[in-house]
Structure 1
Amino acid sequence: MGYVKPPAADVLKGMFIPKLSGEGATGDAIALLGALVMPHNLFLHSALVLSRKVPSSVHGVNNACRYFLIESGFALFVAFLINVAIVTVSGTVCSAKNISDTTANQCGDLNLSSASFLLKNVLGRSSSILYGIALLASGQSSTITGTYAGQFIMQGFLDLKMKTWKRNLMTRCIAIAPSLVVSIIGGSSGSSKLIIIASMILSFELPFALIPLLKFSSSSTKMGPHKNSIYIVVISWILGAGIIGINIYYLSTGFVGWLIHNNLPKIANVFVGIMVFPLMAIYILAVIYLTFRKDTVVTFVKPVKHDPKAQNNMEIGQSNSNELVELEHIPYREDLADIQLPE
């Protein structure tokens, strides 16, 4: 960034004023959204709480949540800076007025395989090697988070328990095997298309992780005194509605546009429409069902308001039964102890 010197005003404008131009820009934006947020990481960030022993009082849990917020927020902020650097460098180089015809052609087909030329003027011939190392590091980071999320889901939701090496082998094979097959068959171009398609699928999956998480964390019958504040609830639902709206808009307009402009026979278009339109309707209805579904299960019972003793017991983390037994820590998942997370 110091070498290409992107204009600060344009960078700030691009951050806060979204603008899409060019063919396929909407699809790339949706793929970028899915790749940045990733539904499995929503589960992973929540599951990190289970890896540490937390004092059982309301104050202790609130402090733990605050520290987890700082940790994940710092990590996401660093990721944000990296993405800003990537976008601004490529945008500044490719939008320059005095670029050569070769650079202009490379900018016209910019993908993971060809993007190393952006660093060539700074790093010389070693740019492609360092760029490859950076891609490998980012791939390892993404694979690790996906593997951890898979382990939490296997143990927490599905209650599947197995030896560590078997679980690691299984989750890594599920994550890597399809990409490896596509890379071997399709080469670099196939891998680039796979990344876009997989990221778009992640974006379409976001509502099924985001909506239950928002409803769960905002419910007083689930979270009690630890539920989201009204400000977090409003902001989160506005962002969630925006994500869902963008997905549904692109899903409907993109498919209709493809039906109109493809070269298939009319009878083939009819059969494709008969197959796809019901699936689109099921997707939309499922999102609506998740949003408005009423949850009647109560997992947190508030102590009686006029009972100061019960209120105090809840604050300091004691049982509300007749035999007041103080808990040193909130129960945590013993079977997650072998996952390499900080204690």
Structure 2
Amino acid sequence: MDVMKPKPDAGWRHDRQEGTLSDVYRSVETAKGGSTLRRIAAFAGPGYLVAVGYMDPGNWATSLAGGSRFGYALLTVALLSNIMAVVLQALCARLAIATGRDLAQACRDAFPRFVSVPLWAMAEIAIIATDIAEVVGTAIGLNLVFGLPLEFGVLVTAFDVFLILFLQRLGFRWVEALIITLLGVIAFCFGIQVFLADPNWGEVIKGFFPTTEIVRDPNMLYLALGILGATVMPHNLYLHSGIVQTRAFGHTLTEKKEALTFATIDSTVALTFALLINASILILAGAAFHAHGHTDVVELAQAESLLAPLLGLAIAPTLFGIALLCCGLNSTVTATLAGQIVMEGFLRLKVKPWLRRLVTRGLAIMPAGIVTIWFGDSGTAELLILTQVVLSLQLSFAVFPLVMFTADKTKMGELVAPRWLSTIAYIIALTIAVLNIKLIFDAF
């Protein structure tokens, strides 16, 4: 009989209790019996919600700072981070499809409370850091495009809670459609700006090759870890393992293997698109700022004001602001969903969907509002970069459990990660941990 063995709850301390994101769990049909192309299209979507987290406003801050200061040298970090992301997100899909659990539920069901509770606290810290970056980034985008004061912009981001609720009433595909549309706008805006910047493409290609200078220079390493933290983000691991389960795939081994294949294609294609956006930000900063001697551009507003005179076109700053606004809106939506997954998964907290999202968003808006009022325009860049370094420091607490679970045959059954994949994943996890230890050492 073509079923998963051993039984789904073998190897876990607690049996699986409920589906993740219960209001949209298995709500999207997967075109069973249709053509391969239709099946791939049915699974397309979650990867793009995950990709949003790899190009959020915090990423912009680190990429702009890195590109203006070091030119194209940190492109290699963006590439390596993206490769790490492809591997880790594929493991997230594998965990969800094999066990029916998201990463938060898996941690709750696998570890004793004295381990799972601190992991929950780490996840919440990561999501708050993420939300601060995204709320502040959205507020800056609203300021650049509409002239709205930062304090009011922070409050406006609260309305994404109601936007998610409205779209999910129509169906989860509407959430995905909004995200993909905004991603298209971001790509269009950056495509024009990079074309206008006219970078040295030979130097750009050279920037994708590793250099030991990144490890030897503490300032470059700090920004490199910021890019790593902004690219491979803890909340994305929880998010992906949850939203993959919006697909109504079957329960047999064959159906799960097919779902895993299509989900991996979706996330890999989406993350490749994210790499293009992230590389574009670095290339734009290198060509527009570093090449013209502006090596200290760290603020998003500062970058916007310099684009017009350097690129020679008045529309360039507007395109930058529109792209930032779209990016911030996208990121706040996905971070809110991740917060819901973490809260439900670790705590089994059962409250109404609108209240869950309001609490999650409130946890971000309160610190973001205080910081924005306190620091104003001058401190937002440093704050954004700091949030990305905090995310990098939290990353290991999500990565190691993920790699451990997916390498365990008693938990994963026939869909356990191949040994070669687990080996690569452990190398990635150890690399992240070692870099973070070096960052702490350099700080002191």
- TM above 0.5, yes or no, is yes
Q: Which residue of 2 aligns with 1:40?
A: 235
Could you tell me how far apart the structure 2 residues matched to 1:7 and 1:226 are? 45
Gaps of 5+ in 2: 1-193
Q: Which residue of 1 aligns with 2:304?
A: 116
Offset from partner CA, 1:88-120 (integer Å, 9 cap, x none): 121123343xx4xxxx3x432333121124532
CA contact (8 A) 1:143 1:175 kept: no
Q: Which residue of 2 aligns with 1:2?
A: 195
Q: Which residue of 2 aligns with 1:253?
A: 442
CA contact (8 A) 1:30 1:203 kept: yes
CA contact (8 A) 2:234 2:398 kept: yes
The structure 2 residue matched to 1:137, chosen from 326, 348, 357, is: 326
Q: Which has the larger helix fraction?
A: 2
Offset from partner CA, 1:241-278 (integer Å, 9 cap, x none): 111110001111221xxxxxxxxxxxxxxxxxxxxxxx
Q: Which residue of 1 aligns with 2:269?
A: 74
Offset from partner CA, 1:31-54 (integer Å, 9 cap, x none): 111111110101111112322222
Q: What's the CA shift for 1:189?
A: 2.0
- What SS does the aligned partner of 1:53 have? coil
What amino acid maps onto 1:108 in structure 2?
Answer: D
Q: Which residue of 2 aligns with 1:183?
A: 372
Could you tell me how far apart the structure 1 residues matched to 2:423 and 2:254 are? 24
- What SS does the aligned partner of 2:313 have? helix
Q: Which residue of 1 aligns with 2:394?
A: 205
Q: Trace 1:58-97 onto structure 2 (pairs within 5 A).
A: 58-96=253-291
Could you tell me how far apart the structure 2 residues matched to 1:152 and 1:191 are? 28
Q: Which residue of 1 aligns with 2:210?
A: 17
Q: Which residue of 1 aligns with 2:252?
A: 57
Q: Which residue of 2 aligns with 1:196?
A: 385
How many pairs align? Answer: 248
Could you tell me how far apart the structure 2 residues matched to 1:217 and 1:231 are? 12
CA contact (8 A) 2:288 2:311 kept: no
CA contact (8 A) 2:288 2:307 kept: no
Could you tell me how far apart the structure 2 residues matched to 1:31 and 1:158 are? 30
CA contact (8 A) 1:34 1:200 kept: yes
Q: What's the CA shift for 1:227?
A: 1.0
CA contact (8 A) 2:298 2:381 kept: no
Gaps of 5+ in 1: 256-343
- What SS does the aligned partner of 1:113 have? helix
- 2:354 maps to 1:165: yes
The structure 1 residue matched to 2:406, chosen from 217, 242, 251, is: 217
User: Highest Rg: 1 or 2?
Assistant: 1
CA contact (8 A) 2:340 2:360 kept: yes
- What SS does the aligned partner of 1:108 have? coil
Could you tell me how far apart the structure 2 residues matched to 1:37 and 1:192 are? 20
115-124 vs 131-140, greater mean Cα deviation: 115-124
Could you tell me how far apart the structure 2 residues matched to 1:142 and 1:16 are? 29
- 2:415 maps to 1:226: yes
- What SS does the aligned partner of 2:197 have? coil
What amino acid maps onto 1:253 in structure 2?
Answer: D
The change in CA–CA distance for 1:110 and 1:193 in structure 2 (over 3 A counts) is closer
Q: Which residue of 2 aligns with 1:240?
A: 429
Could you tell me how far apart the structure 2 residues matched to 1:22 and 1:115 are? 24
Could you tell me how far apart the structure 1 residues matched to 2:341 and 2:321 are? 30
- What SS does the aligned partner of 2:349 have? coil
Cα root mean square deviation, aligned = 2.0
- What SS does the aligned partner of 1:157 have? helix
Could you tell me how far apart the structure 2 residues matched to 1:22 and 1:197 are? 18
**Which structure carries more relative contact order (alpha carbon 8 Å, separation 6+)?**
2
Q: What's the CA shift for 1:22?
A: 6.5
What amino acid maps onto 2:276 in structure 1?
Answer: L
CA contact (8 A) 1:154 1:161 kept: no
Q: Which residue of 1 aligns with 2:338?
A: 149
Q: Trace 1:257-276 onto structure 2 (pairs within 5 A).
A: none
CA contact (8 A) 2:233 2:395 kept: yes
Could you tell me how far apart the structure 2 residues matched to 1:123 and 1:47 are? 45
What amino acid maps onto 2:206 in structure 1?
Answer: K
Could you tell me how far apart the structure 1 residues matched to 2:414 and 2:312 are? 54
Q: Which residue of 2 aligns with 1:275?
A: none
Q: What's the CA shift for 1:84?
A: 0.6
Could you tell me how far apart the structure 2 residues matched to 1:159 and 1:68 are? 26
TM-score (norm 2): 0.53
TM-score (norm 1): 0.68
Could you tell me how far apart the structure 1 residues matched to 2:281 and 2:241 are? 28
Q: Trace 1:267-306 onto structure 2 (pairs within 5 A).
A: none
What amino acid maps onto 1:15 in structure 2?
Answer: F
The change in CA–CA distance for 1:42 and 1:191 in structure 2 (over 3 A counts) is same
Displaced runs of 4 or more, over 6 A: none
Q: What's the CA shift for 1:122?
A: 4.3
Could you tell me how far apart the structure 1 residues matched to 2:281 and 2:314 are? 19
149-158 vs 20-29, greater mean Cα deviation: 20-29
